[in-house]
A = this chain, B = another copy of it.
């Protein structure tokens, strides 16, 4: 009887433990695309410190908030931000309904295939393109447009779907953190409603855990049916000093870990690092020209300059894509 009772008790305990105790999952096997080096070790050491019940640095699960930048941190951002490729494709698709665009910049240049010329108009040109392609429809219509595009559009140099251009080691990291009781958030300069339609499928991040830039929306009754209409007006820019603001607005508590790749993420990392207790800040450094792209201090996309200095000064983890990652994209054969 004793043996049986003990067996029953053990099974019940183990099974209950799987959902009731503060989550803690071993890294062994959880990060297969990471080389056994300082970056991987720093991640694992941090996670073990905050999840071991006996640790002085133990953080109960509700406080285990981790925020991830998207462009250049979870998926690639070269040769142009993928959302910009979306906007350009939308300009082409909408051109027949806008004959006036042929004589109007930045649309005229874009329609002639001259992206550089179109973007020469700077921020104003960019805003014109965004509003022409992201506003004027309901939230549900926009979701459908994004879903249709993301299902078919191909990256200009690899020919892959954009959702294949995600970093395998970061997918594993998201899963590893969640298995250890973390709530994983995206905090991106990209459009919140551009990411939500596919972030759950691709990253396992549900819509309510996506923070991003936004345009204003307006509630209306159309023939008695309520809709939210997207207005051509910037509401919030979730970049640089906007990131801690977006985090406070959406999450309302300070994350204990943050992951980025550019100076646009610096304030988020500063905000996280300044919290009490154990904190973890990581920069992905794009130094792999063979498997991905190599760029940092002088790039106009994803510039990492001040952040690189601050990471060195403060001991933040800097991931070398070249040295720390066995595999960059899921589609690579090893």
CA of A78 to CA of B15 in the docked complex: distance in angstroms?
A: 48
A22 interface residue (CB < 8 Å to B): no
Counting chain B CB atoms within 10 Å of each CB, the highest count among A19, A139, A219 belongs to A219
Counting chain B CB atoms within 10 Å of each CB, the highest count among A8, A225, A226, A241 belongs to A226
A171 interface residue (CB < 8 Å to B): no
Question: Nearest Cβ distance between residue A282 and chain B, in whole angstroms?
Answer: 18
Q: Which residue from B11, B15, B267 sits with its C-beta under 8 Å from A226?
A: B267
> Interface range on chain A: under 10, 10 to 19, 20 to 34, or 35 or more?
35 or more
CA of A253 to CA of B210 in the docked complex: distance in angstroms?
A: 11
CB contacts under 8 Å to B, within A76-122, are none
Residues of B close to A250: CB separation below 8 A:
208, 250
CB contacts under 8 Å to B, within A40-96, are 62, 65
Identical subunits present: 2
CB contacts under 8 Å to B, within A174-218, are 183, 192-193, 196, 200, 206-208, 210, 214, 217-218
Type the 1/0 row for A238-250, where 1 means its CB is closer than 8 Å to any CB of B: 0001101100111
Whether A225 touches B4, Cβ cut-off 8 Å, given contacts A217-B248, A253-B208, is: no
Type the 1/0 row for A14-43, where 1 means its CB is closer than 8 Å to any CB of B: 011011100000000000000000000000
A295 interface residue (CB < 8 Å to B): no
A234 interface residue (CB < 8 Å to B): no
A244 touches B228 (CB 8 A): yes
B252 touches A192 (CB 8 A): yes
Whether A252 touches B214, Cβ cut-off 8 Å, given contacts A228-B245, A267-B219, A274-B226, is: no
Residues of B close to A139: CB separation below 8 A:
248
Residues of B close to A207: CB separation below 8 A:
251-253
Closest B residue by C-beta to A183:
B208
The 6 closest A-B pairs by CB, nearest first: A19-B19, A207-B252, A15-B15, A219-B241, A208-B251, A219-B244
Q: A8-B11, A207-B251, A219-B244 are in contact. List 11 more A-B contacts (CB 8 A).
A: A4-B4, A15-B16, A16-B18, A65-B208, A183-B208, A192-B249, A208-B253, A214-B249, A219-B241, A221-B270, A226-B267
Please list the residues of chain A having a beta carbon within 8 angstroms of any beta carbon in chain B.
4, 7-8, 11-12, 15-16, 18-20, 62, 65, 139, 183, 192-193, 196, 200, 206-208, 210, 214, 217-219, 221, 225-226, 228, 241-242, 244-245, 248-253, 267, 270-271, 274
